[in-house]
Amino acid sequence: MSRPIPEWQYAAIVPVIAVLVIIAHSVISNNDTITAESNPSQRLTYTTSWIGNTYGPGGELPGKDKHVQLSILAMAVSPDGTVYANAPWDEAGREGGVYKNGDVLGQLDATHGWGRSGGTAIAVNDNYIYMAMKQTGRYGVGYPNSDDKWYCVRRYNRSNYKGAKFKGGNGYDNSMLIINTNQGLIRGIAADNSRLYVSDTPNNKIKVYDAQTMKPVKKWSVNQPGKLALDKTGSLWVIQNKTNKILKLNIETGKVQGKIDSVRIPTAIVVDNQNRLLVGDGGLDNQIKIFKNIDSSGNPTPDGTFGVKGGIYSGSPQEIGKIRPLHFNSITGIGVDQDNNIYVASDPSRIYAWQAGGLTVDSYKLDGTINWKLQGLLFIDIPDIDPADETVVHTKNQQFKLDYSKSSGQEWTHVAHTVNPFKYPNDKRIKKTIKHNAGAMIRRVKGRKLMFTNSMYTESAGIHVYRFNPDTDGEVAIPTASFWGSQLDYRYWQDKNGNGQEEQAEQGQYNQGQNYRAWAFWPDDDGNIWIGTSTNGIKKLSLKGFDAYGSPIYDINNQQSFDMPKEFKIIQRLEYHPKTDTMYIAGYSPTFDKRGDWGLIGNRAVKYINWSKAPQKAGEIVISYNQTSKGVRPDLPKSMAVSGDYLFVGYVDNSFEKDPNRYPKVRVYDFRTGQEIGKINPGPEVKSTTGWLDVPMALRVVRRKNGEYLLFAEEDFYAKALMYRIKMDP
């Protein structure tokens, strides 16, 4: 590499270094080096925009410029309204984000890399920030033993966000307080200027420390302690995980003095300036429950709520999922400032097993008037345009509205969240068994809108189908079919009774025993599903029609098979367009010695016309596949998208390269000539910065009615998606 890797980024890079070193070693040893035209004439112009994050610029590594982190599972607010946030992971290293007045102030230092990551608790007093985190071993002096994990509280100075060391502190800068080793996450922290209270959840303890010296003071036994809050009269409030009770503890003795058991799923807790207890309910109510008389000898009494009961799932059936002020979606943090403003973090990833995205942070006046909003909505995601309305954009879990007259990064408005985990708990978008569900593909079939998603690990996760019924589910995408499995055992589910739930009688197996391994999945405009297997040709699952519930019916037992085209040894991607009966295939040619290229699109792309009748090759492209590129991140093609005669190829990642003309993020080819006609890189609108292309189908391209091309690209590094607006010369 041409520059050292920043310490904070090391952990994010290490897992892929090994893979890419293997890739580089394998292809460098191959004599069948294939490259495209190296200096094409540029036939396109474009501007860079983005969707899904309040701030898009990102900036030079290590990402200290503006972006809203992709998750917040804990939040603390100081009296002046500064928001301190914590999450287990942010791709750009902003596990500990700092915000104020709708702006990004920065991030807590070195929360990412060298075995460090964030957590699910945070607190602040006049001098320090106390952040729950994890530190793993294998890094030498100042770190745990090789296979150990420290679950710590790391102390930071409020003045500069740097680690605040103390005598006896652990870690490379002596700022870490070890709470337990190898036992589990810290679920709650509270602090004033004299004491620090920590929930050692796996050990069923609340541990108390001196906030200045960080020396232990006392500890109490509490079953499954979680989030913590201090009131103004000397009591500590603790959410009990699993039991969902809230206990009031005496801060001197730890004895229980009161309790609340009326909140269905308490997820956040804070005491306001009126000495009232505010509790976030992450259950069906999706609102803040308020309690008064918290300093009395008995149990507190309800004193109203903040936010609309039911959150985004409230209102008429047609309103379900719509984004509206005071309609929360899985509250993970609450704060108050000296002016009685209320701060609310909503993060569906709390219950979506890190599959979702959807973070918002809102600041409200007491009367419910919104002050400002921050959004970090996308992670491992790619947008697609609704064919019926080019201003409507879907990602796997979100819906946006575009106004093309606005400036870069301002075109989008978040209008809906399309997952309902309460009604459809088996939705593949939120299941741990389908890791990193990714992106949306929107089709209109006989007037019905369908959404298809796949995964970062497409070859095993398959493809999943959703329908929409605004009269019953508003903007929510209803699970309706899935096709997934392993190399020799593929399974399916088709909803037969319209309830969106996977039931045993609706499941089955197909192609058992065949080598069905595939990276190529494609839903065509008629709703048919095409699967390009690695070595077994192409399969087509035909859409027969729709049942009475609006669920698509696939003819599982009568799949069409197509032989492997002679131009390919292995198929990696395909797109079929029925209107023109055109098939586009990318993969490896018979003479290419494929080794070590996990999930790439291959070295060739071919366009076939008259596919369903008598296929004819109508264009071929040699894809730039740089087998001699140096450094950690070779110039290797990861994803493709097609529009007419144009092929867009996205490359794995070259963000450390300083020559974007040599190592572009996207190359554009013309099937008519086989030549590269232009290169696309993130522009100054996002400080020329983007992250890795993780998923196999990381690009979407749409040609608008006015001739402009929209190219969407995955951009996980700064919790958004890129949108290139392209004008193409004929």
| Mean pLDDT, range 119-133, rounded to an integer | 98
Q: Please give the pLDDT value at position 692.
A: 83
Q: Please give the pLDDT value at position 25.
A: 26
| More confident position, 119 or 462 | 119
Is the CB of residue 251 less than 8 Å from the CB of residue 238? no
Q: What band does 2 get if pLDDT is binned at 50, 70 and 90?
A: very low
Q: What band does 34 get if pLDDT is binned at 50, 70 and 90?
A: very low
Whether 353 shows a pLDDT value over 90: the answer reads no
Q: What percent of the chain has pLDDT over 90?
A: 73
Residue type, 74: A
Q: What percent of the chain has pLDDT over 70?
A: 87
Q: What band does 489 get if pLDDT is binned at 50, 70 and 90?
A: low
Residue with structure tokens 């960080």?
Answer: 214
pLDDT in tens, 637-660: 999 999 999 999 999 865 555 566
Q: Please give the pLDDT value at position 698.
A: 94
Whether 487 shows a pLDDT value over 60: the answer reads no
Mean pLDDT (the chain, rounded): 88
Q: What band does 35 get if pLDDT is binned at 50, 70 and 90?
A: very low
Lowest mean pLDDT among 66-80, 412-426, 633-647: 633-647
| Mean pLDDT, range 457-473, rounded to an integer | 85
Whether 37 shows a pLDDT value over 50: the answer reads no
Q: Please give the pLDDT value at position 22.
A: 27
| More confident position, 147 or 34 | 147
Lowest mean pLDDT among 267-271, 415-419, 725-729: 725-729
Q: Please give the pLDDT value at position 595.
A: 55
Whether 141 shows a pLDDT value over 80: the answer reads yes
| Mean pLDDT, range 481-494, rounded to an integer | 77
Lowest mean pLDDT among 176-185, 492-501, 631-640, 661-670: 631-640
Is the CB of residue 53 less than 8 Å from the CB of residue 378? yes
Within 10 angstroms of residue 71's Cβ, the number of other Cβ atoms is 28
The segment with the largest mean pLDDT, out of 36-45, 510-519, 616-625, is 616-625
Is the CB of residue 715 less than 8 Å from the CB of residue 650? no
| Residue 414, token pair as written in the block | 């978040």
| More confident position, 527 or 632 | 527
| Mean pLDDT, range 371-388, rounded to an integer | 96
- Cα 128 off chain centre by: 30
Beta carbons within 8 Å of 724's beta carbon, 6+ residues apart:
46, 47, 48, 49, 666, 680, 709, 710, 711, 712, 713
Whether 512 shows a pLDDT value over 90: the answer reads no
Whether 42 shows a pLDDT value over 90: the answer reads no
Task: State the Cα–Cα distance between residues 333 and 343, nearest whole angstrom.
Answer: 8
Q: Please give the pLDDT value at position 647.
A: 98
Q: Quick one: which H or E segment has residue 316?
A: none
| More confident position, 512 or 637 | 637
| Residue 259, token pair as written in the block | 């309790």
Q: Please give the pLDDT value at position 190.
A: 98
Whether 32 shows a pLDDT value over 70: the answer reads no
Whether 621 shows a pLDDT value over 90: the answer reads yes
| Mean pLDDT, range 607-633, rounded to an integer | 84
Q: Please give the pLDDT value at position 519.
A: 84
Task: State the Cα–Cα distance between residues 241 and 186, nearest whole angstrom.
Answer: 12
Q: Please give the pLDDT value at position 533.
A: 81
Whether 19 shows a pLDDT value over 70: the answer reads no
Whether 669 shows a pLDDT value over 80: the answer reads yes
Q: Please give the pLDDT value at position 515.
A: 54
Q: Please give the pLDDT value at position 14.
A: 33
Whether 633 shows a pLDDT value over 90: the answer reads no
Q: What band does 556 get if pLDDT is binned at 50, 70 and 90?
A: confident
Whether 209 shows a pLDDT value over 60: the answer reads yes
Q: Please give the pLDDT value at position 461.
A: 62
Q: What band does 5 get if pLDDT is binned at 50, 70 and 90?
A: very low
Is the CB of residue 405 less than 8 Å from the CB of residue 412? no
Beta carbons within 8 Å of 464's beta carbon, 6+ residues apart:
428, 429, 434, 437, 452, 453, 454, 479, 481, 482, 483, 484
| Mean pLDDT, range 593-603, rounded to an integer | 75
Helix (H, G, I), strand (E, B) or coil at 365: coil
What global pTM score does this model have? 0.92
The segment with the largest mean pLDDT, out of 21-35, 512-526, 548-562, is 548-562
Q: What band does 689 get if pLDDT is binned at 50, 70 and 90?
A: confident
Q: Please give the pLDDT value at position 12.
A: 36
Q: C-alpha angle 98/103/104, rounded to 5°?
A: 40
Residue with structure tokens 């190829």?
Answer: 649
Q: What band does 491 get if pLDDT is binned at 50, 70 and 90?
A: confident
Query: What is the DSSP pairing of strand 128-136 with strand 149-157?
Result: antiparallel
Cα–Cα distances in angstroms (integers) from residue 74 to residues 84, 95, 344, 350, in the given order: 8, 11, 10, 10
Task: State the Cα–Cα distance between residues 110 and 162, nearest whole angstrom.
Answer: 8
Lowest mean pLDDT among 438-442, 632-636, 659-663: 632-636
Q: Please give the pLDDT value at position 41.
A: 55
Q: What band does 628 get if pLDDT is binned at 50, 70 and 90?
A: low
